[in-house]
Structure 1
Amino acid sequence: MWSVEDSCMEWLDNKPPSSVIYVSFGSMLVTSQTQMDNIATAMRNSNKSFLWVLKPGSNKDNVAEFSNGFSEETKERVLVVKWCPQEKVLMHSSVAGFISHCGWNSTLEAVVAGVPLIAWPSWTDQPTTAMLIENVFRNGVRLRCGEDGNASAEDIERCIRCVTEGPSAEEIKKRAREMKEAAWKTLQDGGTSSKNISQFISDLIAGKPDRA
């Protein structure tokens, strides 16, 4: 939908392993100025590196610039791009976590890459997916949002530290690795995904629309 900025891959190449938080809310969601400000504050206060996708028209308040000198203060550790090759980004060794809207495609890509998630759901199936991430998969944490859907800068920073520092981070990373291994096994010959696709094709060829 938008031109990919491949320069972000070179930027990631120059970062240490497991040091970058990737931030992207997919192709449809619109980010409010409050959300942008809170994310920017958390980025500034956490002292982590970030790759942040802000697609064209992503700010519904149409504010073109960050406030309070954010860009200048964080230019060495925050890269803002309009769009990026997400699968390649998630597979990169420097990526330590993913702040996501919990769209199912993004969630699956993170699972396959073994990247811990920070869930910021908005609508439809996203809250359910966020619940799965935190309580069932246990490969991430969920932001505490108010009724307006906004998370505070403090809570964003809390979640960033949960997936990057201390015992909680080690457990989440372990679960992310386990989920990755399980996902890859399903794709191999004889795995459940491979078997189901083969059965689906066989049913179509055999003319079994009720099973297809």
Structure 2
Amino acid sequence: MSRPHVLVMPAPAQGHIIPLLEFSQCLANHGIRVTFVITDYDHKRVVESLEGKNDLVEQTHLVSIPDGMEPWEDRNDLGKLIEKVLQVMPGKLEELIEEINSREDEKLDCFIADGYMAWSMEVAKKMNVRGALFWPSSAASVALLFHIPKLIDDGIIDSHGTPMSKQMFRIAPNMPEMNSRDCFWAHIGDLTTQKIFFDLLDRNTRAMTAIKFQLCHSTYELESEAFTTFPELLPIGPLLASNRLGNTAGHFWREDSSCLEWLDQQQPSSVIYAAFGSFTILDQVQFQELALGLELCNRPFLWVVRPDITTDANDRYPEGFQERVAARGRMIGWAPQQKVLNHPSIACFLSHCGWNSTMEGVSNGIPFLCWPYFAEQFLNERYICDIWKVGLKFDRDESGIITREEIKNKVDQVLGNQDFKARALELKEKAMSSVREGGSSYKTFQNFLQWVKTNALAHNSPVTGG
């Protein structure tokens, strides 16, 4: 009998591609044939970043379909991207499934979609392929999504997701208190974009009926209350390349691994690691204030400065900054982040609190300094600071700027209080225990594997729901 064959599709963003690609590689290591479908635009960037040094292509077959946008169009315009994706990708996905299933020895046994692409379950059902969902975000953000009807009934948001007023609420007693204006869809572009995204969430929710497996890149130990609130959600994290002794893939930029040699030369627990993911953009004033704040800390630092991180690519650094920090500061375009966070010289993680970064920091026992920018990052910050108590948030001045003095103050607080490190190490043990044999995430993965293999054996049986 041929190996079970699954098709995996993430949302078109780096923070979604990386965990779904990691999950795919775990499946491949357990005898599953994986076809991984991303957009043409993302496919080009992912392949270029690999530099031929990763065994990904051997294990996971990468294919691509159009996202509906022209190559030069701005994919940070999420409203336009969502509209184009919904116009073009369902038809292209259907064509791809039809093409795969036309080859007798390659017929699909399962389709795994990103939870934020759950509309694709409509296509899978039409094509008679069993479906499963993978949520690359926190369990709390998924629980919030399914709490939307109650938020509308309680008058906290309207039917378009817009906050009716500034109100505080909790989804469950032991989850963080939230501001209605911090719901993740309220931090995505302008009001028009927010409405488009909110409508997408509604369509996704309706497409999820009768899905047997909804997997979440988190652990029961980190978010027990959220998983209890939404019991259909099953923990399967943390998914780290180090767990399978491999390399991460799915990045949009080439990693600068020379920073690892630089870290080797630093003292243990001495380096501030600052990285803001693939989406954060800082205006020139804030960018320079951050630079001066890192300088003011007078500690070694490794700072990931994407080519497009600031609104002004010319003379981005303060005058003389690079010369003054040359002996203890290192700026790079992109980092092998999991390996950086696992390095003994790292003292703390100045982060945008994206969920991948949050899971990677937690899994390595690193305290956080939180600088959220977008979507559910504000909710993740609340977990880091208020629930797990392994980090601090920055306060902004009256102009909305995080000042250099505020950066130094919070760095000194986090590194001057060993309780943050102690709690971070406790949290690391909780997170990593879940993927060991007998842990909650380990059991979810084994159950899912068995389900896929059983479906493969009964491939010709009729599909009824999930």
For the criterion TM > 0.5, the same-fold answer is yes
- Give the deviation of 1:65 after TM superposition: 3.8
> Cα gap change, 1:184/1:149 in structure 2, threshold over 3 Å: closer, same or farther?
farther
Structure 1 residue 79 and structure 2 residue 330: aligned? yes
Q: For 2:384 and 2:397, how far apart are their aligned partners in 1?
A: 19
From 339, 358, 366, the counterpart of 1:88 = 339
Q: For 1:21 and 1:63, how far apart are their aligned partners in 2?
A: 25
The amino acid of 2:303's aligned partner reads W
From 261, 268, 281, the counterpart of 1:17 = 268
- Give the deviation of 1:62 after TM superposition: 2.3
- Give the deviation of 1:117 after TM superposition: 0.6
Match of 1:156 in 2: 407
Calculate percent identity across the aligned residue pairs.
Answer: 36
User: Does the Cα contact within 8 Å between 1:143 and 1:155 map onto a contact in 2?
Assistant: yes
Match of 2:297 in 1: 46
Match of 2:278 in 1: 27
The amino acid of 1:184's aligned partner reads M
Identify unmatched segments of 5+ residues in structure 2.
1-251, 456-462
User: Does the Cα contact within 8 Å between 1:54 and 1:83 map onto a contact in 2?
Assistant: yes
Match of 2:448 in 1: 200
Q: For 1:29 and 1:86, how far apart are their aligned partners in 2?
A: 16
Q: For 1:103 and 1:149, how far apart are their aligned partners in 2?
A: 21
> Cα gap change, 1:4/1:209 in structure 2, threshold over 3 Å: closer, same or farther?
farther
Q: Which has the higher contact order (CA 8 A, sep 6+)?
A: 1
Q: For 1:112 and 1:186, how far apart are their aligned partners in 2?
A: 11
The amino acid of 1:154's aligned partner reads E
Q: How many equivalent pairs are there?
A: 208
- Give the deviation of 1:204 after TM superposition: 4.2
Q: For 1:106 and 1:13, how far apart are their aligned partners in 2?
A: 22
Of 62-71 and 141-150, more deviation after overlay is shown by: 141-150
> Cα gap change, 1:113/1:30 in structure 2, threshold over 3 Å: closer, same or farther?
same
- Give the deviation of 1:61 after TM superposition: 2.2
> Cα gap change, 1:202/1:120 in structure 2, threshold over 3 Å: closer, same or farther?
same
- Give the deviation of 1:159 after TM superposition: 1.3
Match of 2:135 in 1: none
Of structures 1 and 2, the larger Rg is shown by 2
Secondary structure of the corresponding residue to residue 392 of structure 2: strand
Structure 1 residue 137 and structure 2 residue 385: aligned? no
Match of 1:176 in 2: 424
- The C-alpha deviation readout for 1:106-158, integer Å capped at 9, x for no partner, is 00000001111101011210000001100101111111135875311111111
From 299, 307, 316, the counterpart of 1:56 = 307
CA RMSD of aligned residues (A): 1.9
User: Does the Cα contact within 8 Å between 1:101 and 1:120 map onto a contact in 2?
Assistant: yes
Match of 2:368 in 1: 117
Identify unmatched segments of 5+ residues in structure 1.
none
User: Does the Cα contact within 8 Å between 2:272 and 2:300 map onto a contact in 1?
Assistant: yes
From 103, 112, 119, the counterpart of 2:354 = 103
